[in-house]
Structure 1
Amino acid sequence: MGVVAGVDSSTQSCTVELRDASDGRLLGSGRSPHASTTPPVSEQDPREWWQAFGHALGRAVDQAGLAARDIDAVSVAAQCHSPVLLDDHDRVLRRAKLWNDTTSSPQAARLVHELGPAGWADAVGSVPTAAFTVTKLAWIAENEPRTLDAVAHVLLPHDYLTYRLTGRAVTDRSEASGTGYYAAHTGSYLPKHLERWVRDDIDWARTLPTVLGPSDAAGHATTSDARALGLRPDVVVGAGAGDQHAGALGIGLAPRQVLYSLGTSGVVMTTSSVPVHDASAWVDGVADAAGGWLPLMCSLNCAKVTDTVARLLGVDHAELARLALAAPRRPDRMVLAAFLDGERTPDRPGARGVLAGLRSDATREELALAGFEGVVLGLVRGHQAIQAAGATADGPVTVTGGGARSAAYRQVLADVLGRPVETRDVAEATARGAAVQAAAVLAGADVREVRDAWSPAVTGVVEPRDHVGEDIWRRYRALADRPQPDEGSTDEG
């Protein structure tokens, strides 16, 4: 029996799943937390990601009754966009600015103004926001120029962990396509973007990792760091992927199907055989982890919105769901624009949450429902934008992530869509997807073959119960699109 390890290094934690390489059977899992962050300044030390990986791996092998030396292949998926800057001695030069750090919003606005939304969409498939790597590098160039004086490698989160395992500076096309300086549709870096908007005196081609295909091996676990984990030097390491991209592998996302991922961020995605270029800035036309494309919309505010409502009401998540499902669906009910910490899509980094329709007879149930609906209405707008951008996204809808465990999220999503919503037998889609890639690399197979062979079963279907009418949509759009007086401020102080 071969054993593969799938790694999910997310914003909140590192999760490692050990699976049987032949059939995908789960053998054991482990998790270790990361330091919590809150925008606008959201940063983590990449060295702590490595420590969390080690702890999570140890817990996984213990649960499986195995040892690290029993592992045959590893692949790492991780949160996207954050630049990891190393010097020529492999030292981390600064904390990584995460995808939800909004301090580079002024740089993002300038980049979009200078090239234009259509210019960016044509060049890289997406219109950059503060989430994109190029804007964060521009911020560092303006605010910490000496940091870039010493840079030897510009990596992304999963690249960094792969580098610690193999000693090779490599990435994959899914992760590279979210940087703002890689054109996945041509398979080439755009160093002139870095020269124009970051620094023109750096040999960027030398600093950037090699882009691998989804079924390519990054190398073997030959470093001293890998030996310290107990891994054999012949362990093969996959190219890795972005977290949402690996999640699509783990779910077994097929053409026309739509995946709603409800976690810290909320993501709506579908697969596409052709690239998508959306000048509206709603859809990121990124590559997927299987050789195709993964047009997606990403929101900053998802499960943490309902976390906040639960805290304000003094209830746990189960009670919050019960309250929301018991709320009357009157057409003049409360509506929430859930931009609690600014927003990425739409690009409104200085916005805040706004609740409208509050009445003297308002109930706890209605406030709970407003929290769930505020998140879901925003994500369904993203689904609509994906279709408007030309992607076929009219097939079965699957919901995953921590929020998918809530009956209220599942029901509200079905009600807003007016369509059934499926759940699948996947507890950790991203770690599972990374294991799919590791198994493919170990076998010398196409990752799509393993993805399809391991496709998880449907575990439940939620049918629409209460139609969310145009009146709610009209009120939501008016609230969500209305400028706020202090919007635009992203000062760190």
Structure 2
Amino acid sequence: MTDVVLGIDSSTQSTKVEARLLGTGAVVASASASHPPTTPPVSEQDPTAWWAAAAAACAQIPPQVRNGVVAVSVAGQQHGLVLLDEDGLAVRPAKLWNDTTSATEATALVNATNPDAWAVAIGSLPVAAFTISKLAWVAHHEPANLARVARVLLPHDYLTWCLSGRFVTDRGDASGTGWFDASTDSYRPELLDLIGIDGASWLERLPTVLGPHESVGLITPQAASSLGLPDNVVIGPGSGDNMGAALGLGLNVGDLVMSLGTSGVAYARSATPTRDATGAVAGFADAAGGFLPLVCTLNATKVTDTVARWLGTDAPGLADLALAAEPSDVTVVPWFDGERTPNRPDAAGSLSGLRTDTTREQLALAAHDGVLCGLFNGVDALAECGVDISGTLHLIGGGSRSAAYRQRCADLWARPIAVPHSDETVATGAAAQAASILDGHDLAAVQQRWGLGASDMVAPQGGVDVAAIRGGYAAATE
């Protein structure tokens, strides 16, 4: 078998493995295995379940493909708190990004200094999703567990350790912890002091931060046996899932991504860091040496799924209704489960502009537009932070398969948008990184050679009153 690289996408729901030929990037195999389900506001998983899922997914890859693997990288769900003891065993289940029990700790951390100080220190304000808020929760609620901690890792760091035996991370994923400054590539131990621990002494518990082109080393014999891989596989530094997707799309500076999953994300590749004291924009790093300022909304496709259920249809049926709608003043505010951006955790969704002649089609259209308007407000926040948004907008995630989301995104953007051919941009990005750390390979050259970011373009329709739609949304959310 020709040389193969593996990209591993370890998300909240599952682990996906994608095998690509090193030379051409052609996908030769892919597989997935599920993780235990979680039930927010408490959302926790045993880290060993992720490694078991990785092994189960790799076992589905044909042996002749696995025998050709020369490098592997992991992109994982961001922010999760993994605490290990001296023996490398989990002190407690990992608290995931969508565990909101640490909301009180997040507020206390911001109030311990002030928003401007946080923005200067790390480019972001801590929220419940951030790792520092989760560590504060453990410090306050489980001091006995805190005393046992020898290592503090993120989910992708844990899997990289399982692969290589080394405790390392990358600057992209580290930038979502709440204790790492991506503009200087350095930890900020004084922020850990705010938890009530000695931040300086805890630095030895944190992983070494690798650069985007550094190799972690070779796979351990135990990991090679568990995954059915050769014993000379090179391990890449990996990153967070959003950073992996950016690699998989081959983004240039100024390009945007709008991701429509259960929640929504908007981010751009940037050459410069951001520091937003309002908390709307998280000042993350990317996995290629630059930056990835990002806005997250709590409510996306779950809103349209809910409205579809109300109207007695499914997501494709709701899309058909939306595309057949006549313009109206109906507005859906999609804060069905509170909202993260803006920070309205106790908010509820709303419908306005209803009349006796309002149609199912108009309700369907308003649901799609409400989700998109919330994300376009996030794009506006990126621009207000000085982020270049002049490039191409890429629509990804499960919602990108909806004809209505595709068309209305282009309409509200008033420019053509790109919908990538591949749904597995995170695993693809991890595979591209794995290829790039091998001798004689370069990330940009790999992305170009593999044709990453190949997309269908969707053009906006004429006659859509974008100002009226977004103005109506703004009025409804005041």
Give me the TM-score of the superposition, normalised by structure 1: 0.92
Q: Say if 1:166 and 1:223, in contact at 8 Å, map to a contact too.
A: no
Matched, 1:44 2:45: yes
Cα deviation 1:204-263 (Å, max 9, x = unaligned): 111100000111111221052442221222111100011011101100111212111222
Q: Distance in 1 between matches of 2:455 and 2:185?
A: 38
Q: Distance in 2 between matches of 1:470 and 1:448?
A: 38
SS in 2 for 1:203: helix
Residues 22 and 147 (structure 1), Cα distance of their counterparts in 2 relative to 1, 3 Å cut: same
* Structure 2 SS opposite 1:165: helix
The equivalent residue for 1:323 is 321
Structure 1 residue 398 and structure 2 residue 394: aligned?
yes
Change (3 A) 1:90 1:444: farther
- 1:421 equivalent among 417, 423, 431: 417
**Considering only aligned residues, what root-mean-square deviation do their CA atoms show, in Å?**
1.8
Unaligned runs of 5+ in 1: 482-493
Distance in 1 (CA, whole Å) between partners of 2:109 and 2:55 is: 38
2:189 pairs, out of 188, 191, 203, with 191
Partner of 1:473: 470
Number of equivalenced pairs: 476
Name which of 251, 255, 258 aligns with 2:256: 258
Q: Distance in 2 between matches of 1:113 and 1:412?
A: 39
CA distance in 2, matches of 1:395, 1:67: 37
1:306 aligns with 2:307: no
Q: Could you tell me whether the CA contact under 8 Å between 2:248 and 2:429 is conserved in 1?
A: yes
Distance 1:418 1:224 in 2: 53
| Percent identity for Structure 1 against Structure 2 | 49
Structure 2 residue identity aligned to 1:40: P
CA distance in 2, matches of 1:288, 1:326: 40
Q: Specify the alignment match of 2:56 in structure 1.
A: 55
> Is 2:133 aligned against 1:131?
no
2:289 to 274, 288, 291: 291
Please name the residue that 1:490 is paired with. Answer: none
Give the letter for the 2:351 counterpart: L
The residue aligned with 1:452 is 448
Question: Displacement, 1:303?
Answer: 2.0
My pick for the range that moved more, 385-394 or 278-287, is: 278-287
Q: For the Cα contact (< 8 Å) 2:421–2:456, is it kept in 1?
A: no
Tell me the distance in 1 between the aligned counterparts of 2:172 and 2:13: 21
- Give distance in 2, aligned partners of 1:58 and 1:30: 9
Residues 458 and 75 (structure 1), Cα distance of their counterparts in 2 relative to 1, 3 Å cut: closer
Aligned residue type for 1:471? A
Q: Given the alignment of the two structures, is residue 371 of structure 1 paired with residue 372 of structure 2, yes or no?
A: no
Asked if structure 2 preserves the Cα contact closer than 8 Å seen for 1:80 and 1:157, the reply is yes
SS state at 1:175 partner: helix
Question: In the aligned structure 2, how far is the partner of 1:381 from the partner of 1:223?
Answer: 49
Structure 2 length as normaliser, TM-score?
0.95
Between 1:200-209 and 1:77-86, the stretch displaced more is 200-209
Note the C-alpha offset of 1:201.
8.1
Contact 1:74 1:235 in 2 (8 A): yes
Amino acid at match of 1:474: G
Distance in 2, Cα, partners of 1:462 & 1:320: 19
Match of 2:109 in 1: 111
- Shift in alpha-carbon separation, 1:227–1:253, aligned structure 2, 3 A: same
Q: Judge which range, 378-387 or 99-108, deviates more.
A: 99-108
2: CA distance, partners of 1:201 / 1:250: 35
Equivalent residues in 2 for 1:66-465, closer than 5 Å: 66-200=64-198, 203-330=201-328, 332-333=329-330, 335-456=331-452, 458-465=454-461
Q: CA deviation at 1:185?
A: 0.9
Unaligned 5+ segments in structure 2 are none
Q: Displacement of 1:464 after TM fit?
A: 1.6
**How far, CA to CA, are the matches of 1:246 and 1:258 in structure 2?**
14
Offset of residue 403 of structure 1: 1.2
Contact 2:112 2:194 in 1 (8 A): no
Distance change in 2, residues 1:468/1:115 (3 Å): farther
Q: Which moved more, 1:44-53 or 1:242-251?
A: 44-53
Please tell me whether the aligned partners of residues 29 and 65 of structure 2 are also in contact (alpha carbons under 8 angstroms): no
Paired residue secondary structure (1:197): coil
Higher mean C-alpha displacement, 129-138 vs 307-316: 307-316
For residues 242-292 of structure 1, give each alpha carbon's deviation from its aligned partner in whole angstroms, at most 9, with x where no partner exists: 101110110011121211122233211111111111112111111101011
CA–CA distance in structure 2, aligned partners of residues 120 and 191 of structure 1: 13
CA drift at 1:58 = 2.1
Structure 1, residues 102-150: CA drift from partner, whole Å, max 9, x if none?
2211111121122211111110011111111101111111111111110
* More moved, 163-172 vs 218-227: 218-227
Q: Is the 8 A contact 1:129 1:347 kept in 2?
A: no
Deviations 1:290-338 (A, max 9, x none): 01111111122222222222333332322121111112211x12x2221
The equivalent of 2:6 in structure 1 is 5
Cα displacement (A) at 1:376: 0.5
Structure 1 residues 411, 3: CA separation in 2 closer, same or farther (over 3 Å shift)? Answer: same
Q: Distance in 2 between matches of 1:292 and 1:452?
A: 18
Once residues 450 and 36 of structure 1 are traced to their aligned partners in structure 2, the CA distance between those partners, rounded to angstroms, is 35
Asked if structure 1 preserves the Cα contact closer than 8 Å seen for 2:54 and 2:227, the reply is: no
Contact 1:32 1:55 in 2 (8 A): yes
AA aligned opposite 1:394: S
The C-alpha deviation readout for 1:21-72, integer Å capped at 9, x for no partner, is 112111111112223334322222222111221222222x13xx63533311
Q: Which moved more, 1:201-210 or 1:253-262?
A: 201-210
Distance, in Å, in 2 between the alignment partners of 1:38 and 1:414 is 34
Q: Secondary structure at the match of 1:442?
A: coil
2:335/2:348 contact within 8 Å kept? yes
| Aligned partners of 1:401 and 1:429 also within 8 Å | no
Moved more, 363-372 or 152-161: 363-372
The change in CA–CA distance for 1:35 and 1:45 in structure 2 (over 3 A counts) is: same
Q: 1:324-378 CA deviation, whole Å, 9 max, x = no partner?
A: 1112211x12x22212232222222222322223333333222222221121111
